[in-house]
Amino acid sequence: MNFSQIPGQKDIIGKLIHSVKEERVSHAQLFAGPEGCGSMALALAYAMYISCENRSDHDSCGTCKSCVKYEKMIHPDFHFVFPVIKGKKATDPVSDNYIEEWRAFVKKSPFFTINNWLDSIEVGNAQGMIFASEASEIIKKLSLKTFESDFKIMIIWLPEKMHQATSNKLLKMIEEPPEKTLFLLVSEEPGKVIPTILSRCQLLKIPSFSSKDIESYLTKRFNLSPEKAAEISHVSKGNIVRAIELCESEDASLANLDRFKSLMRFAWKRDIISVIGWSEEIAATGREAQKNFISFSLRLLRENLMLSLDQLKNRLVFLTGEEASFSGKFHPFINQNNIYPLTEEFNLVYSHIEANGNAKIIFLDLALKVTRLIKSS
C-alpha cells in the first residue's frame, strides 16, 4: 500500500518518511490510535516504503520487485501477527493458519476492525486472541536472515490481544532484537498492552481523520454528493471504518438498533417474559457481536443525552437517519439522573463478556437493571 492511498494523516506520513530518509527508523514502534484512524494502513505503507528499491522523497514506487510483493503481502521478509481463534483450524493456533484469509481480507481494504476480521473467518462465539503458541513462531521467523530486503518487518496487529506468554517472549526480542529486524505494533487500546512492551517501543500517536479528509474520500470512492458525504463524515466522528460501513451497508447498525429498541421497550413495559427472551436471543450471538452491541448502545446513550441537553443546535449529536428517528422520541428517557448508572452497567457487561462470562446471565442481569433505571427521573 502506498502513502498516497491514505486520505489525510499527512503530518504522520511526513514523520514516517523523514525517519527513513534520516536513517533513524526505530526497531520497535507502536502505532496507537482510535478505531478507524488508519493506523494499520499507515503501518502497511510504512513497511512498503522502507523496503522499496526505488522510493521517492514522498512515497514508494509501487512497481519494483519489493513493492509488487508487498502489495500482494507475499514478501519473504514481511510477516504478520494478528488475533485468531482456537478450534477452527488448530488447537494451538497461530497467524499462519489464517494467512491466506488474512491476505484476501486486507487486500479488500486496509480500513477494518477486529469485528470485521472475525466475521470474515466466521468465528461464531469465539473471541480473537494472539495465543501463546504464536511466541515460538515469532522467534522462528525473526531468527532467519533477510531474504531480499535490508530489513525483516513484522506487523503485530492489536498487541493488546496477546496472551501473557506471547507478550513476555516478544519483550525479550524487543530488548535484544535480531539484526535488521523491525517491529510495527498497531494498537487501538495501548493502555491494555503490557507496560514493559510499551516502554520499549517508540510511540506514534495517530489521530482520528479530519472531517474534510473523510468527506473527500467518501465523495471519490462512493460518488456521494458533498452534502451526503458531509453528513456521514459528521456522524462518523473521524472513524473512517464507520464512515465506510454507513456508505456500504447499515445492516449491522440496524440490527444493533433493533436490539436496543427491543431492550428499552421491554424494560419500559416491565415485560419480564420478553426481557428473558431478549437476553437469550443476544446470548446466542458471538461474543464479538455482543461487544459490538454494547459499544453501539453506549454511543446511542451518549447521543440521546446530548439530545436531552438540547445540543443538536451545537452539532454535538452524531446520529444516522434511523437512529435519529428513533432518538427523537426516545431521548426524554435518558437524563442526567440515569445516564451514569446506565453507562456503568453497559461498561460492566462489556468487561464480563471479555472475561468469557455466561452471556445469558450477564444480559439478563443487564436487562433487569435497565428496567429499573429507565424510569429514573
> Mind listing the pLDDT tens digit for each residue in 135-167?
889 988 888 888 999 999 999 999 999 988 888
Condensed to tens digits (0 to 9), the pLDDT of residues 320-355 reads: 778 889 999 999 999 999 999 999 999 999 999 988
pLDDT for the residue numbered 125: 64
Query: 287 falls in which pLDDT band (50, 70, 90)?
Result: confident
Query: 89 falls in which pLDDT band (50, 70, 90)?
Result: low
pLDDT for the residue numbered 343: 95
pLDDT for the residue numbered 99: 95
Distance, in Å, from the CA atom of 221 to the CA atom of 209, rounded to the nearest integer, reads: 16
Label residue 92 exposed, middle or buried (CB < 10 Å: 0-12, 13-18, 19+): exposed
pLDDT for the residue numbered 5: 95
Cα–Cα–Cα angle for 312, 314, 318, nearest 5°? 50
pLDDT for the residue numbered 53: 95
Mean pLDDT over residues 190-219, rounded? 94
More confident call, 87 vs 287: 287
Mean pLDDT over residues 86-90, rounded? 68
Q: How many residues does the chain have?
A: 377
Percent of the chain with pLDDT strictly greater than 70: 96
pLDDT for the residue numbered 254: 81
Distance, in Å, from the CA atom of 154 to the CA atom of 139, rounded to the nearest integer, reads: 11
pLDDT for the residue numbered 7: 93
Mean pLDDT over residues 201-228, rounded? 93
pLDDT for the residue numbered 110: 94
pLDDT for the residue numbered 298: 94
Query: 88 falls in which pLDDT band (50, 70, 90)?
Result: low
pLDDT for the residue numbered 270: 93
Condensed to tens digits (0 to 9), the pLDDT of residues 31-86 reads: 999 999 999 999 999 999 999 999 999 999 999 999 999 999 999 999 999 999 88
pLDDT for the residue numbered 250: 58
pLDDT for the residue numbered 289: 85
Condensed to tens digits (0 to 9), the pLDDT of residues 103-131 reads: 999 999 999 999 889 888 877 667 889 99
Question: Best-predicted range by mean pLDDT among 275-279, 286-290, 323-327?
Answer: 275-279
What average pLDDT does the structure give for the chain?
91
pLDDT for the residue numbered 224: 86
Looking at the predicted structure, is the pLDDT value of residue 377 above 70?
Answer: no
pLDDT for the residue numbered 251: 62
